[in-house]
Amino acid sequence: MRRRTFAASLGAAAVAAAAVPAPAFAKTSGRCEDAYTWRNAVVNGGGYVPGIVFNETEANVIYARTDIGGLYRWQESTQSWAPLLDWVGWDDWGWTGVVSVATDPVETGRVYAAVGTYTNDWDPSSGAVLYSDDYGATWGAAELPFKQGGNMPGRGMGERLAVDPADNAIVYLGTPNGNGLWRSIDHGRTWARVEEFPNPGNFVQDPGGEYSDDNQGVIWIEFDQDGRIFVGVADPADPLYVSEDRGQTWQPVPGAAAIGAVDGNKTIPKQAAIDHANGHLFIVTSWDPGPYNGSPATGKGGAIWRLDLATGEWADVTPSYNPIGSIPGFGGITVDRQRPGTLMAATQNNWWPDEIIYRSTDSGATWETSWDYAWDANWSWPPERTDRFTMDASGSEWLSFGGVDSGPQYAVKHGWMIDALSIDPHNSDRIMWGTGATIWGTEQLTAWDAQGALVGWDDAAGHQVALPVDPFTVAVRVEGLEETAVQDIAALGGTVVTAMGDLGGFVQTDLGRAGAQIRHPNWSSGRGMDFAALDPDIVVGTGDVDGDTDGHVGVSLDRGATWLTTKRLEGVAGGANGGTVAVSADGAVIVWTPGDGTTLPVFSTDLGQTWTPVEGLPAGAKVRADRVSPNRLYAFAAGKCYASTNGGLSFTATSASGLPAEGDVDFRAVPGKRGQLWLVGGKADATYGMWRSNDGGQSWTRNSDFAEADAVGFGKSHGRRGYPTVFVSAKADGVRGIWRSIDEGRSWQRINDDAHQWGWTGKAISGDPEVYGRVYIATNGRGLICGDIAD
């Protein structure tokens, strides 16, 4: 088992890297003569937050884990989150998927994170447990001999990590895929399997699925005040174990098999919480590990169980009422440490019209819902709705996803995929919950208990009516946590337009505020973005499309403020990958390559209303437009370069050779320079690196500085008439980083440092045409990173 140590950068959103002059003789330097500050272009969230954990001893020590974007710690003074894993680099990118987090109740500065993004071959590396003694300011890593699934099904279950409060040197880890229960006795530095633990789990969601075939394994660990250790296992027939001798021996808990099924559906214990004052262990079960699926085909999909720790008596305390009918299953559960007997749980997933958050103040004997239907005298469908709280999306207005309230379906929802649900153990009024897009929270939670019932029966009218309720406010609590996966960048100068996974894309004129989400076309994921170099008001993008009518390509004539609807290309399904898109320098021609791998590239001269096949290009060819000449466009596919001199209507292969024929390849045209191109990409153990062409792709020269390079872009030049600044995400002298050249590639300086690496940065990079030195970096889960020269 290997151990490594790392320094993190924790604190302000903008952090300066030390400036160290580059040696005069060096062609590549690991330090930049300019100090850089780093920040996010603000979206606020934008991804799934499967876990929020409060320290039970020290107030305001709170951690939020994400499935692809790392770990965050709450900053009470700014009411925002600070990233803790930006030091994770290219080779360890899988460590940005956090499957569990544990905060030490004894030495409260200690924190642990179980990391690893995929258990299949999408992630080549094994998992690890990261450990910190200083609230996440610095970290060590204990690498494990198996993989972990921070972005796999079941990632909202747990927590799989737990610190033993009786001896905080002992930390437990539940693992998937038959690896069982693991334990560290030295504060997470080394780990060994608990051989005495008898059951590694056996529940598999979909044995035939590449992504859903995990044995969910050992799910969570809880400690009671008598020193007993309870462990939940993904085995419907044998789901709960206990040790009464500090983990030396383990026995099944009597009667626990009852929680392994509901209405004929096999279920597993997803989460648990102990009410120490009353001696109750609460467990939520579900037929599916989550976070995507809703109800099973028939019956309920989950239950809430209460185990009396003194008597061993089990009680099914599942809420009897869900406005939409049967309960689909449960996500998160939490107890109020200050108010024994008070607990809350969330459904997973009430896709329509909204999730239900349940609250009980009598240990589950009775429950109240966060909303209910309010019917009229005619029982008209759909009914209206009455709520205990209002949702304030200020600062994240995009959370409406372009929708409007429609009966009981609100544009801004309680959420979906609610596995993270946590009442502050120090403050009964504060709760936070994570969704597939954000974190919601309030500091007025106990106002719920004074509201009474939401609805009552009107005998005279003969129907259910809403009762007067004074709602409290739930608002966004995700500021500082940025979790988008950026696919492409168009930096227009004063406006940045991005294509993003899951969210479509954003248009931002102020990097400090969440911009406008691109809603038309209705991209489920944005894929590519471009603009007309001679008329940057014209922006084009492409993405995967929801629905059956919108085209994959979007066109804006006003810098992204509004978007025109284009025509769907016959034969390309809406859900197909949107591919790549380019627009000629004057905006007259759009060339689109669908991402389905079989459809040939097409062009449009009428803003996407009609499409015509391009001559001379294979399926999958990536097209870029010259930044000076409207008639010149270029393409690349499978090691071959192509050029067009008639505005992209037809292409001819050039004689260029020696370019990468395998792996991901990208190339970009240089602003203000006719016929000049830079190409990056390839495949490890094959052709890989960076090349440059000054003759429209007819010939290429390899840049010998970089053994590997994956994204290249351009920004404002150092001098008034100089060559644009070149930025590249690449590897030089064994060091992965973000590199800059201000002298046309003759020398390079690394502008980031080891504390600012952001995992994988190979998708896209761009400078800014108006701000010298500024760089935009696309990350896979840490949003759009913006770097500026410090002074």
Is-contact 151 68, C-beta < 8 A?
yes
Torsions phi, psi for 511 (to 5 deg):
-70, -15
| CA dist., res. 576 & res. 573, Å (int) | 5
| CA dist., res. 728 & res. 486, Å (int) | 16
Of 514, 490, 485, 489, the closest CA to residue 500 belongs to 485
| CA dist., res. 295 & res. 301, Å (int) | 6
| CA dist., res. 157 & res. 219, Å (int) | 7
Enter the tokens of residue 660: 């990468």
Q: Are strands 633-637 and 622-625 parallel, antiparallel or unpaired?
A: antiparallel
67 among known catalytic residues: yes
Enter the tokens of residue 173: 């880890």
Strand intervals (E) in 212-313: 218-223, 229-233, 240-243, 251-252, 261-262, 265-266, 268-275, 280-286, 302-308
Count of Cβ atoms closer than 10 Å to residue 426 Cβ: 16
What end-to-end distance do the CA atoms of the chain give, in Å? 44
Strand intervals (E) in 336-481: 343-347, 357-360, 368-369, 371-374, 384-387, 389-392, 421-423, 431-434, 439-442, 455-458, 463-466, 472-476
| CA dist., res. 595 & res. 578, Å (int) | 5
Is-contact 276 302, C-beta < 8 A?
no
Q: Are strands 389-392 and 640-644 parallel, antiparallel or unpaired?
A: unpaired
Partners of 115 in beta bridges: 98, 128
Enter the tokens of residue 430: 């504060």
What's the length of the chain? Answer: 791
| CA dist., res. 148 & res. 219, Å (int) | 12
SS3 233: strand
Enter the tokens of residue 591: 């060339």
Q: How far is CA 326 from the centre of its chain?
A: 30
Partners of 776 in beta bridges: 766, 786
| CA dist., res. 405 & res. 400, Å (int) | 9
Q: Write out the DSSP string of 713-777.
A: EEE--SSTTSPPEEEEEEEETTEEEEEEESSTTSSEEE-S-TT---S---S-EEE-SSSTT-EEE
Enter the tokens of residue 316: 């099914």
Instruction: Say which of 67, 288, 424, 550 is annotated catalytic.
Output: 67
| CA dist., res. 310 & res. 680, Å (int) | 65
Torsions phi, psi for 446 (to 5 deg):
-70, -10
| CA dist., res. 223 & res. 228, Å (int) | 6
Count of Cβ atoms closer than 10 Å to residue 379 Cβ: 11
| CA dist., res. 94 & res. 72, Å (int) | 16
| CA dist., res. 481 & res. 71, Å (int) | 9
SS3 399: helix
Instruction: Say which of 263, 429, 502, 546 is annotated catalytic.
Output: 502
Q: Are strands 580-583 and 564-567 parallel, antiparallel or unpaired?
A: unpaired
Look up residue 539 and give its amino acid.
V
Q: Write out the DSSP string of 537-551.
A: EEEEEEEEESSSSEE
Q: Which residues are catalytic?
A: 67, 502
